[in-house]
Structure 1
Amino acid sequence: MSTTTSLFKRMTRIVMRCLILTTVLTSCTSKNFDSAEELLEYIKQPENGYLYTKSVNGVDFSMLYKPTDLLVDQELTGAYSSSKVDSLRSKYRAYLYFTLSMSKNNQELLSNVAGNKQQFGAMVNELAFGMEQKVHLYTPQKDTIAMADYIYPRMYGMSGATTMLLVYPRDKKVTNEDYFIVTIEDLGFYTGEVKFKIPTEMINNEPRIKFK
């Protein structure tokens, strides 16, 4: 084989590898949106990989991943600088945020037990103080990631669902895997354990807002 032929083949392999790498990088590029409203509309479409839903025994569950920039946008007020945006991104990037919504008969869970004083009181206490014992995130290797915080705003029957914000550390045990699992234990509606399998690729390449 001549030197020229050998060199040509080596160059061809290099070009092919570069094309493959370019394709991979392009497919993993984060999407950018002009506003929080556009970003929110995008993640609410299940086909985009940020919203997961299930219905079990008449109870509707949904898990929505909230990208970092939605949290950043909520904190920005008035004029801001790129350094302020970067600082907030660093702050919120340390965590994973999910909105968990649960409803039955298009009502909050509490509305469905309002006639049972004992059950109502127990559920209020559980929703307000005990969800870290009911919702679990773990890796394919069964490593459990402890919940960092959660926020449950009482809506007093004014909403169509029981909704709360779940916060987990952005642990490499999670982000370095292909997926992770979130489970919700039975809250008294005979659903059994509800499980969501969530791919990490979409989270690692989450969409952003073009802050101007």
Structure 2
Amino acid sequence: MRALLIILVCSGLLSCGSRSIVSEQELKDYIINPDHGLCRREAKNGIDMEVVYRPSELVAAQQVAGVTDQKEREKIIRNFDSLAYFVIKLSRNGQEIENAYASDNDKFLQATSYLSSGIAQDLYLVNKGDTIRALDAVYTRMFGAATATTVMAIFDTNVKDLDGSLTFCFGDTGLGLGLNEFEFYTNDINKAPTLNLN
């Protein structure tokens, strides 16, 4: 009886530390499900904001597609795994945020310039009093074809090594939104399933 109890406890402990492996689409669906704590939404000044934690595996998957050399694949995966990614989506009336300025050429250019080069300075993470500034932010102009403006923020940290709460801060200086904070929990991040990229 005691041996059975030890086996059950050991197998339970082993299963607690392992993350399930899912398909790319299943992982995308998982992170946008509000029940999993990896997607936060807020509305302010008529603008809808959504911040989503993006697992490094999803970013690396795009880069390793078609790479057949195993060592090269592993190198790419390691490079992406050392960084943290969050996607922020901004929309007004179901459209990309910069479309609100389309009738004023100067304001439109200011908005697109801010999104493409200035916004990275306004994005940072806070964990236990430590501030982690964004290394970069990637904005892709969709020319009205999307329902929201999307910017991916890149941070020089592996959030899986952190613990407790993790606050994504958007201290906007270009769109009139001011400071916006979105709280995530590293426990939720660490529970997310993973992809098999090998």
By the TM > 0.5 criterion, same fold? yes
Residue 139 of structure 2 is aligned to residue 145 of structure 1: no
The alignment of Structure 1 onto Structure 2 pairs a total of residues equal to 198
1:93-118 CA distance string (max 9 Å, x none): 10011111110100111111222333
Q: Which residue in the other structure is 1:133 paired with?
A: 121
Q: For residue 39 of structure 1, what is the amino acid of its counterpart? A: L
The structure 1 residue matched to 2:163, chosen from 167, 177, 183, is 177
The structure 2 residue matched to 1:99, chosen from 79, 84, 87, is 87
Q: Secondary structure at the match of 1:159?
A: coil
Q: Which residue in the other structure is 1:108 paired with?
A: 96
Distance 1:121 1:79, change over 3 A: closer
Q: Which residue in the other structure is 2:74 paired with?
A: 86
Q: TM-score, normalising length from structure 1?
A: 0.78
Q: Which residue in the other structure is 1:199 paired with?
A: 185
Q: In the alignment, is the contact (CA less than 8 A) between 1:175 and 1:204 conserved in 2?
A: no
Q: For residue 144 of structure 1, what is the amino acid of its counterpart? A: T
Q: Which segments of 5 or more consecutive residues in structure 1 lack a partner in the other structure?
A: 1-14
Q: Which segments of 5 or more consecutive residues in structure 2 lack a partner in the other structure?
A: none
The structure 2 residue matched to 1:52, chosen from 40, 55, 65, is 40
Q: Which residue in the other structure is 1:76 paired with?
A: 64
The structure 1 residue matched to 2:141, chosen from 154, 178, 188, is 154
Q: In the alignment, is the contact (CA less than 8 A) between 1:150 and 1:166 conserved in 2?
A: yes
CA RMSD in angstroms, aligned pairs only: 2.9
d(CA) in 2 for partners of 1:123 and 1:24? 51
Q: CA deviation at 1:167?
A: 0.5
Larger Rg: 1
Q: TM-score, normalising length from structure 2?
A: 0.83
Q: In the alignment, is the contact (CA less than 8 A) between 1:55 and 1:61 conserved in 2?
A: yes
d(CA) in 2 for partners of 1:62 and 1:91? 26
Q: In the alignment, is the contact (CA less than 8 A) between 1:137 and 1:182 conserved in 2?
A: yes
Paired residues for 1:19-38 under 5 Å:
23=12, 25-33=14-22, 35-38=23-26
Q: CA deviation at 1:59?
A: 1.2
Q: Secondary structure at the match of 2:94?
A: coil
Q: Secondary structure at the match of 1:128?
A: helix
Q: In the alignment, is the contact (CA less than 8 A) between 1:59 and 1:189 conserved in 2?
A: no
